[in-house]
Amino acid sequence: EMLYNGVRHDSAARGGHAMPQLARRGMSIAAISAVDIALWDILGKSLGVPVWRLLGGRKLDRMPAYASGGWAAADAIGEQLKSYIAKGGFKALKMRVGAMDGAAHISAGRVRAARQALGPDVELMVDAHGTYTVAEAKRFIHLVNDLDLAWFEEPIIADDKPGMAEVRASGAVPIATGESEATRYAFRDLAVLKAADIFQPDPAFCGGISEAMKIGTIASAFNLRFAPHLWAGAPCFFAGLHVCAASPSSFTVEYSLGANPMIHDLVEETVEARDGMIAIPEKPGLGFTISERFLEAHAQRG
């Protein structure tokens, strides 16, 4: 709160409401996020307890996870997604759609091929990275309406919250969004506008663990669900595990199956899914150890 309000933090503390400066989003919040995540880790280590205990406890010792990837063309997407199941026993998978394909019907064809390959019992999500227009997103929903999608992620640009609400109202596919949003205020607006079914804050961008927990509370208050975006690297991923463990509205954890050394090589621990589940860390703090060898190999030298 002090960092967010900047030089006005004393006035904000006395007044009981936020008084942020200019540049309160973007890199400023990302920097605050890093400090916040680090401080929770330090506090947990100093007390000898995992962060989830500091957040009020955990509801599960293992969380369901979904495999996040899916870039292949229609003739190969089924095999690519099946390979994810083989790697971790996942029962839920996410694939990419949107501008990478061009027209909406091409993406819809890839999704149809994926569903045919996977059958009806595997949950399938799609992610457009905010690259459709409202009209294109609505057309895509119409084309995939019979494929029982678990969610449609970031259908349009995050800045157009009324447009997101229009997309959500156009069909029965749940809308997930939030990786491009910072602070609880943005998620409050999504909730009030009825623009999303699933909140996806990124702990490394939204304001850290502290802010992610507040966003989870908003999700719970509006009877929405909570599935943080966990692609940014190991500190973000582990922060997300603790937040999910302590949040009533959480229900799944994103597990990157793209090339992501910042998750898998940055830490000494092996982050793996078994039977589609990921264990919540038991060690003090966030529960990971940075690989000094990795840092040494990739440190920028002047």
Model-level pTM? 0.92
For residue 232, what pLDDT is reported?
Answer: 83
Amino acid making up residue 260: N
Q: Give the model's confidence band at 21: pLDDT under 50 very low, under 70 low, under 90 confident, else very high.
A: low
How many Cβ atoms from other residues are within 10 Å of residue 121's Cβ? 6
For residue 17, what pLDDT is reported?
Answer: 80
Say if residue 229's pLDDT is above 70: yes
Give the pLDDT confidence of 81-96 residue by residue, as tens digits. Answer: 999 999 999 999 999 9
Q: Give the model's confidence band at 10: pLDDT under 50 very low, under 70 low, under 90 confident, else very high.
A: confident
For residue 7, what pLDDT is reported?
Answer: 79
Backbone torsion region of residue 156, taken as left when φ is above 0, otherwise alpha when ψ lies between -120 and 50, otherwise beta: beta
Give the pLDDT confidence of 134-176 residue by residue, as tens digits. Answer: 999 999 999 999 999 999 999 998 989 999 999 999 999 999 9
Give the pLDDT confidence of 255-283 residue by residue, as tens digits. Answer: 998 778 888 899 999 888 999 999 999 99
Angle of CA points 145, 160, 173, to nearest 5°: 15
242 DSSP assignment: H
